[in-house]
Amino acid sequence: MEAVLCFSELAGMFLSLIGYVCCLVALFIPHWLTFSSGLLVTENYLLGLWKTCIVQDVGLTICEEYQASLFHLPLQIQMGRVLVSLSVFIGALGFTASTPALTCVKCLNNTERCVRKMLAVLGGVLFAVAGALTFFSVSYFAYDTLLKFWDDNIPKGIPRWEFGDAMYTGWVGGFFLLLGGSLFIFSQFHATQGPEVKLP
């Protein structure tokens, strides 16, 4: 039973780590939305949470950070910054709580099994919350982009923003954090269910 629990915890930690790295990448790379004007085929525009970039086929990339304050930025960028940053912070707390609670790590002895279980469940909950925040943030960003993409008030000949790699990375990160956190939680509750003792 202990070997199965150890494997489940390590699998949950590994999945959560993949999701956390994906969320970090999505937070900082300026690839949330892509845009090609159609006039200069050698140039593509990238929009991120912190800056916008112009990428040329010759390999030159010019980026500029947003000069406006947070409250003057579009709502989806405000939410993306706050929620994904909060997700990264909560994910770090999840690792801090769950690492000492791993069955394979001898930080806590058997007399502190209850504390170990509480920390493991707390870590799983934090991972799940972090994944939900990133997933919600990216989904709202995608929803707003789709509304503008299919806006009938914009002439059909005008190019529109499209999904970038960071959005897909954020979705993957949120999914893996949710999966890893859920695995952490369920492994602890499954471990509490010992074999039933039948009375004569």
How high is the pLDDT of residue 195? 46
Average pLDDT of the residues in 43-52: 87
How high is the pLDDT of residue 38? 59
Q: Does the pLDDT value for residue 197 go beyond 60?
A: no
Q: Which of 56-60, 75-79, 86-90 has the lowest mean pLDDT?
A: 56-60
The domains of the chain are located at: 2-30+71-191
Q: How confident is the model at residue 71 (pLDDT cuts 50, 70, 90)?
A: confident
How high is the pLDDT of residue 162? 83
* Model pLDDT for residues 129-161, shown as the tens digit of each residue: 999 999 999 999 999 888 877 666 665 666 677
The answer to whether residues 5 and 191 touch, using CB atoms and an 8 Å cutoff, is yes
Using alpha carbons, select from 36, 27, 76, 80 the residue that is nearest to residue 54.
36
Separation of alpha carbons 30 and 27, rounded Å: 8
- Residue 102, classified by CB atoms within 10 Å of its CB into exposed (0-12), middle (13-18) or buried (19+), is buried
With pLDDT > 70 as the criterion, what percentage of the chain qualifies?
Answer: 82
CATH assignment of 2-30+71-191? 1.20.140.150
